[in-house]
Amino acid sequence: MRIARSAAELPNESEIGLVPTMGAFHQGHLALFRAARGENTVVVASLFVNPAQFGEGEDLERYPRDEERDTRLAEQAGIDVLYVPDAEEIYPPGFETWVDVERLGSILEGNHRPGHFRGVATVCLKLFNLVRPTRAYFGQKDAQQVAVVRRMVQDLAVPVEIRVVPTVRDENGLALSSRNAYLSPDDRKRALSLPRALAARDPSLLDGLEVDYFEEADFEPRVLAAAVRVGGTRLIDNVVLEGDPQ
Ligand code: AMP
């Protein structure tokens, strides 16, 4: 595996699979890497903690970072190139062009994190333009992110195929997330009511947690999505509803 610190070091191949990430790899990331490895000649994973998708007072500064461990895990997963750009490459001096996916980017997560999806859509388009992937891989865990990126790709005719990988959970059902590292043992127990409430379609199971939303969303596929705060940690999760008899 090579580490590319600038776009000039990126591969120039006809078939590239791209997995955009913010690092602190877990089995969710590894599932995306496996999917990409299975269908592309060359696989690029990007590691960039995108400041533009964090709001003021959010966890940008304390977001978990461990490039050494991520490098090892990416290498073991068969990634060909780990792209670790400088912020100045993604946001050059004078940067002022943003992608705003208006409706899909402003409901649910977007309503609670203004500007978040503008940051997401913009960094994704930038990464697509720099890496020029045939396919890009995203997790169903972030269902609204998938909806926003798909909408952007369709609206702006971006030549990339979006692939979605099912949510990876731990043995208790908690969706893996880099932010789970913030949870104390007690928080972790309390956090389990999130997947349980979603599985039961029953928000009353979230009793005691601060709920930002617990709502059906008309994405493809349709999901029941929720965001809660456990201690100081904000967690999101969703379950797919398509074919749901309820
Ligand atoms: P992140 O590094 O958190 O920005 O995530 C990078 C990619 O991994 C995103 O497309 C996420 O949706 C995906 N991802 C994160 N957690 C999971 C998970 N538990 N299962 C599947 N995909 C995930």
Q: How far does the centroid of ligand 1 lie from the alpha carbon of residue 156, in Å?
A: 24
Distance CA 217, CA 199 (A): 15
Long-range CB contacts (within 8 A, 24+) of 63-72: 63/22, 63/24, 63/178, 64/23, 64/24, 64/178, 64/179, 64/181, 65/23, 65/24, 66/23, 66/24, 67/23, 69/25, 70/23, 70/24, 70/25, 71/1, 71/3
CB 165 less than 6 A from any atom of ligand 1: yes
pLDDT given at position 61: 98
Cα distances from 133 to residues 31, 40, 172, 188, 191, in angstroms, run 18, 10, 35, 37, 36
pLDDT given at position 159: 98
pLDDT given at position 245: 56
pLDDT given at position 192: 98
Look up residue 86 and give its two tokens.
């400088």
Q: Kindly give the interhelix angle for 116-131 and 143-155, rounded to the nearest 10 degrees.
A: 60
Distance CA 21, CA 147 (A): 17
Q: Is 116 a catalytic residue?
A: no
Q: Determine phi and psi for 140, rounding to 5 degrees.
A: -65, -20
Region for 79 from its dihedrals, namely left if φ exceeds 0, alpha if ψ lies in -120 to 50, beta otherwise: beta
pLDDT given at position 244: 66
Contacts of 84 (CB under 8 A, 6+ apart): 3, 4, 5, 46, 47, 48, 67
* Residue for token pair 């201690």: 231
Question: Which residue out of 18, 29, 109 has the highest number of ligand 1 atoms within 8 Å of its CB and is therefore the one to mutate?
Answer: 29
Closest C-alpha to ligand 1, atom 13: 139
pLDDT tens for the chain, 246 residues long, are 999 999 999 999 999 999 999 999 999 999 999 999 999 999 999 999 999 999 999 999 999 999 999 999 999 999 999 999 999 999 999 999 999 999 999 999 999 999 999 999 999 999 999 999 999 999 999 999 999 999 999 999 999 999 999 999 999 999 999 999 999 999 999 999 999 999 999 999 999 999 999 999 999 999 999 999 999 999 999 999 977 655
CB 45 less than 6 A from any atom of ligand 1: no
pLDDT given at position 242: 79
Ligand 1 nearest atom to the CA of residue 177, by list position: 16
CB 178 less than 6 A from any atom of ligand 1: yes
